[in-house]
Amino acid sequence: MPCQIDKEGTRDSKCLAAERNNQKCPPGNGHKDAGFLAQYKYAPIGLNNPEWSQWANDGAPTCVYNPAEAQALLNIPGLIAKELQSRKLAAATFVIQPNPHTLIGYQTNFTAHADTQKITMTLLGQRIDMTIYPVSYTYDYGDGTTLGPTSLEGSSLPKDQWGSETRTSHSYAKTGDYTATVTTRYHGTFSINGGPAMPIPGEANVPSPGIRLSVWRSKVDWYADDCNQNPTGPGC
């Protein structure tokens, strides 16, 4: 918000302090005209209509170089929230061990990993830097069983440990073909023209491509033949 706008038209205290310290916004660095001070404020995520007392200053005042930017400071958070919802974010890497076949009653291991994503764009003539980061995963094993939302990413197992129970593994009770998926929940922060980072209202939920998994039943038979002596015998 511009420094000269505060509750009932009063001045923001941090802006006043900056002015007393003779903080200026001179032209230069691509700006033809001198700018004016602005103070960013934020309120906790989830408050639809926060009271004035719930808003807080975030860092020191920064410089705004055109009148339209003052209105942008008020409009951009809502646009950023829509951008987070509509932008195609990278899905988590999703791995199943073993795959594409597993056994009934067997501990099948699932892992997911999503990276933090950096996005730079222009909104209302202002440079916006977004940082989008994963906060939780929801595993859907495809048989009506889910895990999450959870912060657990799971971990890959060496082949000789497949079948070991992990915090994200799942044991299928019935044979059949299933499609397993994982959905990543993202939160984020944004800054305007290099200003302080502020939370993006809302969140984005991004599903990873499903993985088809066939669950088989194992069967053990005993044979009398010695496969070394009769390589073509049953079970050899």
Which burial class, exposed, middle or buried, applies to 45 when counting CB atoms under 10 A from its CB (0-12, 13-18, 19+)? exposed
Which burial class, exposed, middle or buried, applies to 4 when counting CB atoms under 10 A from its CB (0-12, 13-18, 19+)? middle
pLDDT at 102: 96
Question: 93-216: which CATH number, 3.50.50.60, 2.60.40.10, 1.20.1730.10, 3.40.50.300?
Answer: 2.60.40.10
Per-residue pLDDT of 84-107, as tens digits, reads 888 899 999 999 999 999 999 999
Pairing state between β 126-140 and 146-150: antiparallel
pLDDT at 144: 97
Overall residue count recorded for the chain in this entry: 236
**Domain segments of the chain as ranges:** 7-65, 93-216
Strand, helix or coil for residue 7: helix
Per-residue pLDDT of 223-235, as tens digits, reads 666 777 777 776 6
Low-confidence ranges of the chain (pLDDT < 70): 1-23, 29-30, 36, 39-60, 65-74, 218-225, 234-236
User: Rounded distance, CA 216 to CA 197, Å?
Assistant: 51
Cis peptide before 134 (omega within 30 of 0): no
- Output the CA torsion 70→73→79→85 (10° steps): 170
Q: How many CA atoms lie within 13 A of 219 on its CB side?
A: 6
Tokens of 144: 């009506």
